[in-house]
Structure 1
Amino acid sequence: MDLFVAITEHPVWGWLSDEERPWMLMDPESESGLMHRIADLAREAGSSNREDLDIDDSKGPVFVHDEAYIGPYVRIEGPAYVEAGAEIRHGAYLRPGSYVCSGCVVGHSSEIKNTLMMPGSKAPHFNYVGDSILGSNSNLGAGAKISNVRLDRGNVPVRFSDGSTIDTGMRKVGAMIGDSSELGCNVVTNPGAVIPPSSAVPPNSTVTGYWSPAS
């Protein structure tokens, strides 16, 4: 899909070995999915011993680097991993499967779940991001929501740029947002949305399938 090219030197790049089906990273049952990979990495790094954190590791280990900024009233549930240089602001909620790279921002009242936030990506103001990949230096405007479950609870399809679709076989798939893309305030992406790199999605838009300026 060529959505994520800015982190080829970052360790998580190897997690995207199936570049044509990046959504497989969000499969919670897969041993190569985010849940298992984060748990293994956090376990290897060692449990966080910061006393300023509200951590629930009953479902998996949590690692928060000492050089990550964590604001007050942040809740983190494992498995989760927060790199040095990440910024988790007041009242943010990291649910199981959250991997937050250096330079990322998770803002006030933003909720992240089973999501890879690549370096410099931001969900800074009242955002929900479920079962998704945010490319490097991508940004969600205030109130943007990345939905991950269909109303009929069916499997999520993914549409490609040529109009073809594939059934992911998964009930929960959010969005794959390419590097350096910007989503305006109150954008909603429907499950399985694909946004190519360097896109600018206007405020209040609803994105279904593969987004292009003409869609």
Structure 2
Amino acid sequence: MSLLPPRSICVCLHVLVLYFQLQESQQTVADFRRYIENHTRNSEDLSRKQVRIYQLYSRTTGRHVQILGKKINANGEDGGKYALLVVETETFGSRIRIRGKESNHYICMNKSGKVIGKPSGKSEECIFIEEFLENNYTALVSAKYKGWYLGFSRKGRPKKGSRTAQTQQEVHFMKRSPKGAAEWSEDFRFTPVTKRLRRARRLKASPHAG
């Protein structure tokens, strides 16, 4: 019985190693593509689910950002109905839309840098990017107009985006839970609300319902 020479054995082992590496590489690529495909398919659902509600405390005024409709200022009282903000995550990451729960208007910034409220938040002018600062404050920069921040003067009036910078106290905010936060939590779950659940809530709210 003839044995393979050492050189042939080495060649065979090398071929086997290359084969297994190729198989592993193909499996990794397949898993990554499947991951991207699944997350792309579900991104719309996830963006609808990622909803938070809080207040934005202004460092300059010592009060809260409030959306009155078209007009926006930073003079809102803690727990005030116009200071309750519904923050919608636009995509994976820190791109957000901010809507007033009471007024149902979005914070937007137009091409001249003016901060205004709009009933629709679909425009990129209504998308902001969260920047977390070392002093534990948060800054919100326009997704469309780079370097323009949401900011308010000491009197609570909106500043033009072109006159803002990340280092200014006028653009520093702190996220705060509203007073009575527990009563709002049921409306902002991370799971879809089904018709059956809506009916159960109505029955719970109406003790005389038969």
Question: TM-score, normalised on structure 1?
Answer: 0.24
Higher helix share: 2
Pick 1 or 2: higher relative contact order, CA cutoff 8 A, min separation 6.
Answer: 2
Higher strand share: 1
Question: TM-score, normalised on structure 2?
Answer: 0.25
Bigger-Rg structure (1/2): 2
